[in-house]
Amino acid sequence: MIKLGTITLNGTPRIAVGFGDKTAPQVIDEAKDFGLDVVELRIDLYSECRKEHVLNEVKKFRHFPSIATIRSKKEGGKWRGTEKERLALFRAVMPEVDAVDIEMSSRTIVSSVVKLAHKAKKLVVVSHHDFDQTPSIKELNRIVNHAKKLGADIVKVSTYASDDEDIQRLAHCTIANKSKNIVTIAMGG
């Protein structure tokens, strides 16, 4: 069983919502009242990424289990800085969050982020996004296994699904890899 902050991830569905910066306190209170379980702090969407600003925004959510995400442009994010700056920001927020999400494709920093997180006893989500298609089952399994080799505590695979067969491949991947703590997401209509 995996713990993310104060909750145990044991197969029970959880409600997670992504937040940018400048979230009003009443919105945070309402989220708690509506049963929000986990916050994803989308730091790449923040209006500014100065360390002080980011830390002040992250601390607003200290009463929730949290995942810090600084998503690269290549994988659908809005990160504007260098990989060196992104690594420094992951390092800065690490004490304030329960987990980090780093893309498998972020080759220059993924191993450093994993090491930092594990040293700080934080969970690591290694994610993969494919905005064009859902790969074959063989490729999906390769992605999951590679993420685990990189040190993922949780593997997240998000692909574009255009038909029932794509959904079935993602479901098959989820079931076949459930012991590897996998999250799959089908994007698209």
User: Among the options 53, 149, 156, 172, which is catalytic?
Assistant: 156
The first and second tokens of residue 18, run together, are 């992504």
User: Among the options 53, 129, 138, 146, which is catalytic?
Assistant: 129
Asked if 91 and 97 touch (Cβ cutoff 8 Å), the reply is no
Q: Is 156 a catalytic residue?
A: yes
Q: Is 51 a catalytic residue?
A: no
Cβ atoms within 10 Å, residue 14: 16
Q: What is the 3-state secondary structure (H, E, C) of 33-57?
A: HCCCCEEEEEHHHCCCCCHHHHHHH
Which uninterrupted H or E stretch holds 130? strand 123-130
Q: Which residues are catalytic?
A: 129, 156
